Amino acid sequence: MLGLGQLPKEYNKAVHGPYDPAIFYGKKDTPLSQVKLYQLPAWLARRNPSPVAMGRAVSRAYWRWNHKYVLPKYSGITPVLQLTVAWSALFYCLNYSGISHHTNAKYHW
């Protein structure tokens, strides 16, 4: 159902070796940083906007971050600081309407 819990159909163990959840096994495309402005509509049309594809992209991004910052033997405090800053920014955005009126202003009559 929706391909959840299954390997991507483009993945071939004989070609790609062990499965890595941080790698996109589909057809390679031009990176966004190398797309010219006139090529942008065609590049966007080649994207898959389905919720399943978006979820897979988020999962790949998570696993790339996890492999780089969390899973190394000596990862240090970097992932903890990154998560702390991300949570702080998220809750600031969620509570902005409640704290925006607490500004320091000097009124003159």
Question: Could you read off the pLDDT of 2-60 as tens digits, one per residue?
Answer: 667 788 888 999 999 999 999 999 889 999 999 999 999 999 999 989 888 898 899 99
Question: Could you read off the pLDDT of 75-109 as tens digits, one per residue?
Answer: 899 999 999 999 999 999 999 988 887 777 777 65
Domain ranges of the chain: 13-94
Tell how far CA 47 is from the center of its chain. 15
